[in-house]
Amino acid sequence: MNEENKMSRRQVLGGLSAGLAAAVVSPAFGSQGANLFTVTGPPDLTDPTTKYPKPPFSPEFQPWPGLAGKMTPRPDHGEKSYKGSGRLAGRKALITGGDSGIGRAAAIAYAREGADVAINYLPAEEADAKEVIALIKAEGRKAVAIPGDLRDEAFCQRLVAEAVKGLGGLDILVNNAARQQTKPSIADITSEQFDWTMKTNVYAPFWITKAALPHLKPGSSIIATTSVQATDPSGDLFDYAQTKAANTAYVRSLAKQLGPKGIRVNGVAPGPIWTPLQVSGGATAEKLKTFGGDTPMGRPGQPAELASIYVQLAANDASYATGQVYGAAGGGGQP
């Protein structure tokens, strides 16, 4: 091949490459002036210290178990902010305490990630639960409401059976419901109150997990909501702190049992999070005024800020994470 032919060939190839490059960057649908690829700048950064309300607060106390709809300021569960991307498409989740707080945030996120969701709650929380059910259905997902008291073993077994029936299966279990009541001294905790806390926070996850295991296949995920109280307990949460330590052990022990079966078990350890748990007896009036103010963030967390953790722990791409406890405490406490 002579030099003239070589040059012509290079010119042809160069022109073809330039044409392809021009086609990629040139406007598509030129009549509308739209580009095939739009170059945008980096996303806006949000300062986490000013993202949500800071103390001092002046909340109104509510009788147990409290309603998110009556809180001031109202908690953010991600109703308007959480955007899904199909990470849990086709999955089937049961969440206890799914009417408000962290459980509600997880339920909203799961639905927007493509999962069908069953929530459990106390009958007194029906107003909050109806809002969650509507939000799940708005995403085109199955929503199953199962009210009832987790202190009853028979109900816990029925809860799982109804969730499996309503969802058509089960592969995500979130043991989140809890009771927390502040008492200044062990002398102020009656045996009845101690039993109530233990049954809700420790017995119920035991009963529910036993009932759920026959339905969980390899790839399924169990998530427990524990707390920084497990490792840095407050003096006025004597019984609650013990249950959160038990929840942490639940995660680490059960993960070893179920790892060979391909079922992952993890936990989330929140710090001060703005939920009905606090305003319905979980904190003193004095503590509520400054709630979350002693963290490095200078404020309490919102349930929406934990939703992505529950999604990640249930997603297939977290397949090597089991027996772990993930903290979310604004810089304070340890998981």
**Catalytic residue ranges:** 240
Determine which helix (DSSP H) or strand (DSSP E) holds 289, and give its type and residue range: helix 285-289
Q: How many whole angstroms separate alpha carbon 298 and alpha carbon 53?
A: 10
End-to-end CA distance of the chain: 72
What is the strand order of the sheet 172-175 is part of? 143-147, 116-121, 92-96, 172-175, 221-225, 264-270, 325-328
* Distances in whole angstroms, Cα of residue 287 to Cα of each of 21, 23, 50: 63, 63, 20
Q: Dihedral sign, CA of 104, 108, 109, 115? A: positive
Q: Which of 282, 271, 328, 287 is nearest to 305 (CA)?
A: 328
Tokens coding 213: 């295991």
Residues forming beta bridges with residue 129, ordered by sequence position: none
Proportion of the chain in helix, strand, coil states, percent, rounded to 5: 45, 10, 45
Q: Which residue has the tokens 């987790």?
A: 150
**Residues in the chain, overall count:** 335
Q: Which residue has the tokens 């759920």?
A: 212
Torsion of CA 281, 286, 291, 294, to 10 degrees: -140
* Distances in whole angstroms, Cα of residue 317 to Cα of each of 85, 263, 320, 326: 13, 14, 8, 16
